[in-house]
Amino acid sequence: MIALDACIDCVQAAVNGEFPEDDSERERIERALTEWADEGYPIITTAPDDEAEGFFSWSPCGVCGSHLGGARLAMVALSVDIEREV
Ligand SMILES: [Zn+2]
């Protein structure tokens, strides 16, 4: 499990399946989520504790890397155990 501070766009996409209307923004976030899945973390969801209150930050989004300042929310990336047959 990896703790992340995610931008609102990523939270909306990962939790609600709602992507930005802007095509390039939508693609950017879809790509970020796909990359997380490819790395073995297909599930990105809100942090289980109650620290999920948003805060303002100029730090890059932990999910998509957006450098835009804005609200960040505590999220976690969850891995799955995939049995690989070699
Ligand atoms: Zn983001």
- For ligand 1, the distance from its centroid to the CA atom of residue 65, given in whole angstroms, is 6
* Residue 39 pLDDT exceeds 70: yes
pLDDT band at 82 (very low <50, low <70, confident <90, very high): low
Angle at 16 between CA 68 and CA 2, to 5 degrees: 65
- For ligand 1, the distance from its centroid to the CA atom of residue 81, given in whole angstroms, is 25
pTM for this model (two decimals): 0.84
Q: What's the pLDDT tens digit per position in 41-73?
A: 999 998 876 655 688 999 999 999 999 899 999
How many percent of the chain have pLDDT more than 90? 77
CA distance 81 to 52: 26
- For ligand 1, the distance from its centroid to the CA atom of residue 49, given in whole angstroms, is 20
Supply the pLDDT for residue 41: 95
C-alpha torsion angle, residues 53, 11, 35, 67 (rounded to 10): -70
- For ligand 1, the distance from its centroid to the CA atom of residue 83, given in whole angstroms, is 30
